[in-house]
Amino acid sequence: LGELLRLPAEALEFGYRKSRLQTEPWIVAGIEMELQPSEAERVLALMAHNQYLRELKQPLAFPSTGSVFKRPPGKYVGPMVEGLGLKGYRIGGAMVSEKHAGFIVNAGNARASDVLRLIQHIRELVRSKYDVWLETEVRILGDDALPGELASYSELGQVAPA
Enumerate the active-site residues: 17, 67, 137
- CB of 7 within 8 A of CB of 29? no
- Strands 64-67 vs 103-106: parallel, antiparallel or unpaired: antiparallel
Long-range own/partner contacts, residues 93-97 (CB < 8 A, 24 or more apart)? 94/118, 96/122, 97/59, 97/62, 97/64
Shortest CA distance to 136 belongs to which of 83, 33, 66?
A: 66
Shortest CA distance to 119 belongs to which of 153, 73, 144?
A: 153
Shortest CA distance to 112 belongs to which of 135, 88, 142, 87?
A: 142
